Amino acid sequence: MREPFIQPLTIIKELEQHGYEAYFVGGAVRDSIIGREIGDVDIATSAKPKEVMALFPKTIDVGIEHGTVVVLYKGEPYEVTTFRTEGTYEDFRRPSSVQFISSLKEDLQRRDFTINAIAMNRHGDIIDPFNGIEAIEKKVIVTVGEASERFHEDALRMMRAIRFVSQLSFTLEEETRQAIRQHGSLLQHVSVERITVEFEKMLQGDSSVQAFSLLAETKLYSFLPSLQVSDNTFSKLLQYKWHLLQHVTESWALLLIGLHNQQIESFLKNWKLSNKTIKEVRDYVSAYTQIRTEGWSPQLIYTYGVHTSLAVNRICYVVGEHEVDESWIKQVNQELPIHSLQDIVVNGADIMNWLNKKGGPWLSELLRTMEQSIVSGELKNDKDAIREWVQSCNQI
């Protein structure tokens, strides 16, 4: 059993000692079999949420109605979810209530794909009633049960299928793929927040190009926020090596650049992204646009900062245009005489004093010109030099 399971093993043993069944389930078991890095370790149990809470000193109720309790053990959070079925589905969304059951197999049956429906007991034995291991060996994503039925229950699963293609470099089993092609429009019933989570994971996967290709081929893309574009436009996105970007914010910027979409704010608001992300993406796109027209310059690196410059350079690399050496950007940044207005040895008060003038729009204008002259190296960041420069400006 791999290292991430060792600590939470104690939770499973504790539950078993009190007469309950408990297993590792979901992504961690899948990734351990594949040999990928293991993320969150989740546990499924026959104990009811209240029983789980009674057993462990530190728990957080994160959704008792869905059967999930977080157990904090040695400072780490573990999701412990009661075996459940999801009962009836309404409006193609997750049900608002679930039924707790006593059978592991039924719990595995409600899970989306066979690769995600594998359990492991405390001895490391695998319980795999839906042949998830075979699917892992064949590298296919296939729904547990009939694909079209499973997508009617919860249409988000179509997006999940495609994000697993991206993350695991697997392919979609034929029936699962056909069902996505047929039922894409069901995605409109799913909340944007849930779609965004899956889409961002897709953007960051190693095989995101394959995922984009599936979105195009099944036309699922056209049911995603802000993506009601032509097939031709969408297919342009297939030319980029998305996985070479470092952060999802860079991927959002590349998406807008690739689609030639200038409505950055409304595009990203439709995906319900945070204002912080929107601001960052806006910066990336505007720096990129400036580089395309004017090229790189110390001024640009000063204006946007080294972090944004490096991010935009990665975008340039992926687009295949205007990329420069990363070390050049770092060096130019290091050699900049100032990194912000605060670094100038003179302030507005000094200038008003020297010229015996009250503040006003003229002052901010002058400060801006001064900043530019210092960054370009025309003016030294030195009090006497700046004073002389200010006085000469005042005579004009």
**Which segment (151-159, 251-259, 294-302, 352-360) binds ligand ATP by CB under 6 A?**
151-159
Q: Minimum CB separation from ligand ATP for residue 50, in Å?
A: 22
Residue with tokens 């097939």: 231
Asked if 112 is part of the footprint of ligand ATP (rule: CB under 6 A), the reply reads yes
**Which segment (11-19, 150-158, 273-281, 363-371) binds ligand ATP by CB under 6 A?**
150-158
Does the CA dihedral 188-191-194-200 come out positive or negative? positive
Q: Which is nearer to ligand ATP, 156 or 220 (CB)?
A: 156
The CA–CA distances, whole Å, from 51 to 64, 67, 100, 286 equal 11, 11, 13, 54
**Alpha helices of 169-207 — where are they, by DSSP H?**
174-183, 192-203
Q: Minimum CB separation from ligand ATP for residue 183, in Å?
A: 14
Asked if 27 is part of the footprint of Mg ion (rule: CB under 5 A), the reply reads yes
Identify the CA nearest to 46 among candidates 75, 73, 15, 71: 15
Residue in 26, 49, 132, 205 binding ligand ATP, rule: CB under 6 A = 26
Q: Is 160 annotated as a binding residue?
A: yes
Identify the CA nearest to 191 among candidates 156, 144, 162, 159: 156
Question: Are the C-beta atoms of residues 44 and 119 closer than 8 Å to each other?
Answer: yes
The CA–CA distances, whole Å, from 59 to 13, 26, 77, 183, 320 equal 17, 20, 9, 39, 50
Helix axes 192-203, 248-258, angle to 10 degrees: 100
For residue 311, give both structure tokens: 């991010």
Residue in 116, 143, 251, 313 binding ligand ATP, rule: CB under 6 A = 116
Q: Which is nearer to Mg ion, 164 or 271 (CB)?
A: 164
Q: Minimum CB separation from Mg ion for residue 242, in Å?
A: 22
In whole angstroms, what is the distance from residue 366 CA to residue 266 CA?
Answer: 35
Q: Minimum CB separation from ligand ATP for residue 256, in Å?
A: 25
Q: Is 150 annotated as a binding residue?
A: no
Q: Which is nearer to Mg ion, 27 or 129 (CB)?
A: 27
Asked if 157 is part of the footprint of ligand ATP (rule: CB under 6 A), the reply reads yes
Residue in 1, 39, 275, 289 binding ligand ATP, rule: CB under 6 A = 39
Residues of this chain that interact with Mg ion (CB under 5 A) are 27, 40
Annotated binding site for ATP: 27, 30, 111, 154, 157, 160, 163
**Footprint of ligand ATP on this chain (CB under 6 A)?**
26-27, 39-40, 42, 111-112, 116, 154, 156-157, 201
